[in-house]
Amino acid sequence: MPRRAVIIGAMFSDVRSVHFIGIGGIVMAAAAAALKARGLRVSGSDGEIYDPAATVLREAGLTPWRGFDERHLEPAPDLVVVGNAISRGNPEAEAVLERRLRYCSLPELLREQFLRGRRVIVVTGTHGKTTTTALLARVFECAGRRPGFLIGGVPRDFPSGARFNDSEWFIIEGDEYDTAFFDKRSKFLHYLPEVAILNNLEYDHADIFEDLAAIQKSFAHFLRLVPRNGLVLANGDDPHLAPLLNVNFCPVTRFGLGEGNAVRARRLELGAEASEFTVDESRFRVALAGEFNVRNALAVVACARHCGIPDAVIQHALATFGGVRRRMEVRGTAAGVTVIDDFAHHPTAIRETLRALRLRFPGRRLWAVFEPRSNTTRRRVFQRELPAALAEADQIIVAQVAALERIPPAERLDPVRVIADLRQAGRPAEYLPDVPAILEFLVGAARPGDVVAILSNGGFGQIHTRLLAALQARERAPAAATV
């Protein structure tokens, strides 16, 4: 196909220079690199910038400013993109408002520059969005569709989590979190879905939504964007989605394991390295463990079939899927101890991840090391649910609430109580507030054959690398090993 014009969206047709406030987010970095590749002048600023965003920016020839300063807006850019993490009080954001510069959110930019005019598939839900989006992009790639995509993680089947090209297809992970400090609507309300996938729905993002009903309302608004010639693919087993699906403005197809679903997975076989299931008369094998990944794959099968991709192509893509970093990712083995990195931070995700790890590492002692870091798990919203989820492990360590000074004490999760509840349920559990204390304990207590799952949606103080190094030191000199 011929290369598209420099600017796709008419809304920004006169833009030649763009500045990104908060360019260190992976999606911000990918969008900045894509605009630079189209010939625009691009600048940006942020605090510390880590991989994979740092690599994306470096390979694009972009050198952002460290820190925020209103002088970064001189000379004035044609457009300023304000990241979701930027709040009022940020000196650049304040200067944008004061000088009346033209600005937009990242989802607005994505809509006008990369989504409008394309056939967009939006993958939503509380859990499984990243894996499902990456798996769907893999299927479309194997089918020769070469889709554009935006994945909220790092897929192993592609060089990066974002690709902005000239394909008629674009597959995007749709987040229900708010858009920007000036737009509190969910991000996915900007994404122009032709096909909307609803994996599941639970209460989350306690800093944004008051209750489950508020989240359901946002999802209901999202469904109203699907055209009459589009499709809603929804998890028919999820009771929280059911009230949203009685619509007459677009087709709705339910998928799941229950009998009432139009696309139903049967004859499940859950293995250590892969899962198998049957849809109609076709057998599918996905290179992922756990029932929740069968549900993710089932959504992909339903969507790919709707888009005209043959079962044989879908079967090959699922069986050869490389996975996503930070989703049950093995970071290494030292002293016979396997260290796993996983993004799980919601009780349901924690529970399902630990169950899948049981399948993947049968008969081995399983540790769960959990950092309460998300805006919801730092609060006491899941005070009762977290112990039940973490109890899927044999040994549990809970760290101090991240940035606890930002949460009022009355609203804050109580990790000591989580530990008490776990012990009452018969599970060995420890509250160890910081990474050095956790490392010291693990180096002394972990034994060969153990699997240590690090559960956090942040960097967690480089605990994965440090633990592997400490275990290696113990193996070399057991009596002298130090953390």
Q: Report pLDDT digits (tens) over 90-119.
A: 999 999 999 999 999 999 999 999 999 999
Q: Are residues 165 and 301 in the same domain?
A: yes
- pLDDT for 194 equals 97
CATH code of 422's domain: 3.90.190.20
- pLDDT for 329 equals 87
Place of tokens 């991709």: 309
455 pLDDT above the threshold of 80? yes
Q: How big is the CA angle at 185 (ends 51 and 217), to the nearest 5 degrees?
A: 120
| Under 8 Å between Cβ of 346 and 475 | no
Alpha-carbon distance of 48 to 461, in angstroms, equals 14
- pLDDT for 248 equals 93
Q: Among the three residues 319, 348, 365, which one is the final residue of a domain in this structure?
A: 319
Question: In Å, what is the CA distance from 66 to each residue of 43, 46, 47?
Answer: 12, 5, 5
Q: Are residues 124 and 216 in the same domain?
A: yes
Instruction: Give the mean pLDDT of 235-239.
Output: 95
- pLDDT for 203 equals 77
**What pairs with residue 270 in β-bridges?**
275
Query: Residue-wise over 343-352: b if at least 16 C-beta within 10 A, else e?
Result: bbbbbbbbbb
Q: Are residues 116 and 77 in the same domain?
A: no
CATH code of 56's domain: 3.40.50.720
Please state at what angle helix 311-319 crosses helix 291-306, rounded to 10 degrees: 150
- pLDDT for 8 equals 47
Torsion of CA 436, 441, 444, 447, to 10 degrees: -110
Average model confidence (pLDDT) for the chain?
A: 90
Name which residue leads in pLDDT, 253 or 34. Answer: 253
Instruction: Give the mean pLDDT of 54-67.
Output: 92
- pLDDT for 53 equals 84
Instruction: Tell me if 5 is assigned to some domain.
Output: no
Instruction: Give the mean pLDDT of 332-350.
Output: 88
Encode pLDDT of 390-403 as tens digits: 999 999 999 988 88
Q: Are residues 81 and 113 in the same domain?
A: no
Q: Are residues 263 and 125 in the same domain?
A: yes
317 pLDDT above the threshold of 90? yes
Question: In Å, what is the CA distance from 108 to each residue of 11, 167, 186?
Answer: 10, 20, 12
Instruction: Tell me if 364 is assigned to some domain.
Output: yes
Instruction: Give the mean pLDDT of 176-200.
Output: 93
Q: Among the three residues 77, 101, 125, which one is the final residue of a domain in this structure?
A: 101
Instruction: Tell me if 1 is assigned to some domain.
Output: no
Instruction: Give the mean pLDDT of 263-278.
Output: 91
DSSP per position, 71-107 = GGG-SPPSEEEEPTT--TT-HHHHHHHHTT--EEEHH
Place of tokens 């893509």: 317
Q: Are residues 293 and 369 in the same domain?
A: no
| Domain carrying residue 53 | 17-101
- pLDDT for 10 equals 58
Q: Are residues 58 and 201 in the same domain?
A: no
| Under 8 Å between Cβ of 45 and 154 | no
Encode pLDDT of 406-427 as tens digits: 888 888 888 999 999 999 999 9
Per-residue confidence band for 300, with pLDDT thresholds at 50, 70 and 90: very high
| Under 8 Å between Cβ of 382 and 351 | no
Q: Are residues 116 and 263 in the same domain?
A: yes
482 pLDDT above the threshold of 80? no
Q: 135: which residues sit within 8 A by CB, 6+ positions away?
A: 286, 296, 297, 300, 317, 318, 321
460 pLDDT above the threshold of 60? yes
Per-residue confidence band for 206, with pLDDT thresholds at 50, 70 and 90: low
Domain count, the chain: 3
Per-residue confidence band for 154, with pLDDT thresholds at 50, 70 and 90: confident
Instruction: Tell me if 62 is assigned to some domain.
Output: yes
Instruction: Tell me if 209 is assigned to some domain.
Output: yes
Alpha-carbon distance of 79 to 374, in angstroms, equals 31
2 pLDDT above the threshold of 90? no
Instruction: Tell me if 10 is assigned to some domain.
Output: no
Closest CA to 209 of 217, 220, 197: 217
Give the percent of the chain with pLDDT over 90.
64
Which of 48-52, 54-58, 301-305, 356-360 has the lowest average pLDDT? Answer: 48-52
Q: Among the three residues 319, 338, 373, which one is the final residue of a domain in this structure?
A: 319
Cis peptide before 52 (omega within 30 of 0): yes
- pLDDT for 51 equals 75
CATH code of 149's domain: 3.40.1190.10
